[in-house]
Chains A and B, each alone.
Chain A
Amino acid sequence: MKGYFLRMVAALAAALSCMIGTVSADGGGVSFKVDAPTITPLGEYLRVEFVADARPDDDSFEAPDFAGFDILAGPTVATGRQVYWVNGKQTVTESYTYTYVLMPQAKGTYTIGAARISVDGRSYTTKPLPVEVVDEGERRPAGGNRGDTSPEAHVAKDDIQLRIKLSSTSVYKGEAVRASIVLYTRTSIAAINNVKLPSFEGFWSQELPAGEDSSSREELNGKVYTTYLLKEYLLYPQQSGQLRIEPAELTAVAQVVTQSNRGFDPFFGGQEVHNVNRKVTTPEITLNVKALPEGAPRSFNGAVGQFTMQGSMPPEKISVNSAASISLTISGRGNLKFIDAPSVTMPESFEIYDTKTSDSIKVSAVGTSGTIKYEYPFVARSSGEFRISPVEFSFFDPSKGQYVTLSTQPMTLTVTNDGSVPEMPSDARMMTSYGEKMKQLDRDIRFIHTDSGDLRREQRLFMFSPLYFLLVVIIAAAFIVIYAVMRARIRENRNIVQRRIKRANKVAVQRLRMAERYMKQQQRHSFYEEMLKALWGYISDKFNIPVANLTKETIREELYRRGVSAADAELFCEIISRCDEAQYAPSTSNSMEEVYADAMEMISKIESIVKR
């Protein structure tokens, strides 16, 4: 039951696939291609295949002209049919192949002409294909005819070779170079073992995705080889000089067919197949890496290739505390992965955030290409008009051999504030975005002085010069002279005072005598007047005080100061008071004799106490 069901499904599928296959062949274009080696040695046959992916009309195939070749066999027709199921969808490919086996007649380049078929009445032709026929010299005799029948002898030394091919032998540092590891062989290879790939020291390497068609034929040292592209890399030299590329190594297993020694093999016609292991190494190769020339622009940071830059600026007017950003797009071909973000200088009051980087980079045989987008977000913290200087990006163009600098347009940005948003005070702003102190960006010497100073003055030392000592002496002498003069004068002044003091007693005595005369004549008024004169004058002369400055108080103080007892000082003042009163009083309350005696006694007493 189950078997029957499966068979039913298979039959249904076959029928369906048949239908769809026809449809697809009708709908799409039919491809008709020629497949033949483009290079072939003289004396070896070559196969030429004409492949169509749809069923041609009966007898519609027209063979091309095979000038320069003998047709050994053909055309043989082969049909193929493949059915794919992918995710539930069925695809059918059909192929019709016409095969010829040709033998070149002579050395040279010959062209296989266009073959023609028609499918459903429409005709298709192949492109003419040039084939180079190379003369490799004498052909190696077939293995079986030689005495040495070991399988190793059937594979000549140069039959299998390994090479690293470089797309260029001299590049600039940072410029991409393509390295292909290629196996050259003239025998059939069954397997490859022990592959050791170089580590590419001194380079940054990136493996390229394997292409679809990895085998072809190539001429090497006058011989035709089948080549297999094993690996392909893009190399970016990271240092300059002669860079050595380490050799690659592998063991190839060649298949050799020999005549059997056992001549009576009933089935296999006396042929045996042997596997021959052959270790191959690539020859030493070096790459000349040129250093980048001097005089790199300031903004250069290692980009090598061809690039373009596009800058997109924020709108010209933004409001305070709103975020905006500058974005830069660098696109082109070169060492994109090594590019650092170009530096953007923003006004100080802008708060700057981390740069965002996004890229889309493709790696292909011609190099790395793609775009990198940098975004510089910022927030303007204060209003005003700000100039944003152009952003520069420099790269080295290896094809021109010079540096190229790209820059954006300078722009002015107006930051507006409608008053609703408080702006940060400048100090706080500095604290948040720039740390505590203004940074020293760079140092340079200060500008010259435009004033010449006194160019003509000889630098004479004044200190300890004769002039200096002369001045010191003059000042000292002036001091001494002036001091001496002043001192003498002061002394003289003091002598005058001394004399007056000496004379004080004398004057007082004279006055008192006069007063005594008036007393005898009973002239009261004149007596007291003379007495007062004598007393005041005495104190004035004695203590060198002007009469105008004298009061009873000052007299009392002065006497006390000079060592006269308080009682005596008081008594002296009392005598003056008595004289004052009696001078104008008509009655005699106290006698003149008494006042006279007291005054005499007082003056002599003061004289004895105040010596000088």
Chain B
Amino acid sequence: MKRIKILLSVMTAAAMLLPTALQAQDGSSDGDAVGALWKHATDAYSDKRFDEAIESFTRISEMEYGSAELYYNLGNAYFKAGQGNISAAGRPFASGELGRAVLNYRRALKIDPSMSDAQYNLDLAVDYTNDTDGVPEFVLARVWRSLRDMLSSNAWGILSIVLLALMLTLAMLYLLSRNIARRKAGFYGALLLAVLFVLTTLLAASQRAVERRDDQAVVVCRDTAPVHSSPDSETKIIREPSQGVTVTVGRSLGEWREITFADGEKGWIRNGDIEIIR
């Protein structure tokens, strides 16, 4: 019996060490330069020098892989800069800052889907666009999605591995113990953990698919961009999405890209008017 306990603790310890092992990866030298640039950018934002903040955050994003916080801040800087940039027609976001803000919020959420500040600001920014509501989601689908977005696919994956280890430990308790109570606990515990393991694995797989997708794009233009019925500027303009509208991209033909709106409507837009969320 003692042996089982030791085994259990060893397995748990291994599971706990896993995330740390995953994180302990590369590390490089010019950390100070990036740190200084980060401080400069956040100070510029605090002093309402938003254009400067945009420039610095963008430079960091070019130097490093980037974090959810970085893209969130960049989105904020674009949004604030755009609010003060009034066009001749009296509209804010005169240089297409709204589209950039939405793009960066979506990038932040792609890295960390549980980042509530980014979600809040994205919802607020989207209110300024003329984005249509998507097809109403089934309740279960919504619950599934919000559950999935609580963690990244990596976190779900690690959790599923830990659950697998615990489940097998309990299964061993069931198989090897001669005590009826222990055997019972082991059996039902293993059964519950098996269900949780399957669930987390599915969530991880689903989240991974979301994180891997690169068919989502945001309209980035000055005001509105025309969407034609065919890849040809002579054809009818079926819609005019404003900057910041999120679409799904499809086929590509020359300078044209097929896009699908949230409500299912399809059309063709110029490549330059959209940017893929990566």
Contact = CB atoms under 8 A, between A and B. Distances in A.
Given A446-B117, A468-B161, A472-B164, A463 B76 contact: no
Contacts of A460: 25, 154
A463 B205 contact: yes
Most-contacted residue by chain B among A449, A476, A486 (CB, 10 A):
A449
B interface secondary structure, majority: helix
Nearest to B101: A445
A471 B172 contact: no
B72 A479 contact: no
Contacts of B67: 452-455, 457
B34 A455 contact: yes
B113 interface: no
Contacts of A591: none
Contact of A479 (B23, B117, B172, B208): B172
Contacts of B34: 452, 455
Interface string B189-230: 000000000000000110110011000000000000000000
Contact of A483 (B76, B176, B207): B176
Contact of A486 (B28, B90, B164, B176): B176
A459 B60 CA distance: 16
Given A448-B72, A464-B208, A459 B157 contact: no
Given A445-B124, A446-B120, A463-B157, A453 B172 contact: no
Given A445-B125, A461-B211, A475-B168, A453 B69 contact: yes
B180 to A, nearest CB: 15
A451 interface: yes
A475 B67 CA distance: 32
B76 A455 contact: no
Contact of B153 (A443, A451, A461, A482): A461
A462 B157 contact: yes
B205 A449 contact: no
A472 B154 CA distance: 15
Contacts of A447: 76
A475 B65 CA distance: 32
B156 interface: yes
Contacts of A446: 76, 117, 120-121
Contacts of A461: 153-154, 208, 211-212
B276 interface: no
Contact of B73 (A448, A463, A464): A448
A482 B172 contact: yes
Interface in B52-67: 60, 64-67
Contact of A462 (B38, B73, B153, B171): B153
B18 A471 contact: yes
B76 A445 contact: yes
Given A443-B124, A458-B65, A472-B161, A449 B25 contact: no
B106 to A, nearest CB: 14
Given A445-B79, A486-B172, A452 B22 contact: no
B31 to A, nearest CB: 8
Interface string A459-499: 11111100110011001101100110011001000000000
Contact of B161 (A475, A482, A487): A475
B269 to A, nearest CB: 27
Interface in A203-226: none
B245 interface: no
Contacts of B65: 455-459
A450 interface: yes
Interface in A352-399: none
A215 to B, nearest CB: 51
B237 interface: no
Contacts of B77: 448
B208 A463 contact: yes
Nearest to A443: B124
A460 B211 CA distance: 10
Contacts of B158: 462
Interface in B39-95: 42, 45, 60, 64-70, 72-73, 76-77, 79-80, 90
Contact of B42 (A448, A464, A472): A448
Nearest to B38: A452
Contacts of A472: 161, 164
Interface string A291-333: 0001000000000000000000000000000000000000000
Leading 9 A-B pairs by shortest Cβ distance? A453-B67, A463-B157, A453-B69, A455-B64, A448-B73, A445-B121, A462-B154, A449-B69, A479-B168
Given A458-B25, A459-B111, 4 more contacts: A452-B35, A453-B67, A455-B38, A458-B65
7 contacts: A449-B117, A453-B70, A454-B23, A456-B26, A456-B64, A463-B207, A482-B172
Interface of A: 294, 443-464, 467-468, 471-472, 475-476, 478-479, 482-483, 486-487, 490
Interface of B: 3-4, 7, 11, 18, 22-23, 25-28, 31, 34-35, 38, 42, 45, 60, 64-70, 72-73, 76-77, 79-80, 90, 111, 117, 120-121, 124-125, 153-154, 156-158, 161, 164-165, 168, 171-172, 175-176, 204-205, 207-208, 211-212
